[in-house]
Amino acid sequence: MTVEIRNGRTSFSVPAKWNQFLKHLAGEHEIDLNIAISELFEWALSDDEDREQFRVWLDEAYPPTGEAEEQARAAGEEADEEEEENEEESEEESHEHRD
């Protein structure tokens, strides 16, 4: 289902698992689904704290363009360094046992 926000310019798809639930609620209250969802967003993001929490969640769940690659590269570098350290320790232990 595609929902169009009040201004008529924004639309998005509602996940299938929420489709029936939202339609049912809108029908129970005899309100247009678009209005109900618009009001939901307005309520959920009505103050600075809620908007900031949403932004933080979005940044963590879907890092901004470029950040995801940077984080993956940093994680890869950390893993490489850790692997090198483990190999060095292993070599040192191996040499100690030989002596």
Burial class of residue 3 (count of CB atoms within 10 Å of its CB; 0-12, 13-18, 19+): middle
| Residue 90 domain flag | no
Question: Average pLDDT for residues 62-72, to the nearest whole number?
Answer: 75
Amino acid symbol at 8: G
Q: 38 is in which domain, residue-wise?
A: 1-46
| Residue 4 domain flag | yes
Please, what's the b/e burial string for 28-53 (b: 16 or more CB within 10 A of its CB; e: otherwise)? eeeeebbebbbeeeeeeeeeeeeeee
pTM of the complete model beyond 0.85: no
| Three-class SS state of 53 | helix
Average pLDDT, the chain: 80
Q: Identify the residue with better confidence: 57 or 34.
A: 57
- Residue 6 is predicted with a pLDDT of 58
CB atoms near residue 68 (< 10 Å): 11
Report CA Rg, the chain. 25
- Residue 8 is predicted with a pLDDT of 58
Cα–Cα nearest to 37, from 26, 24, 52: 26
| Residue 33 domain flag | yes
Question: Average pLDDT for residues 33-48, to the nearest whole number?
Answer: 84
| Residue 86 domain flag | no
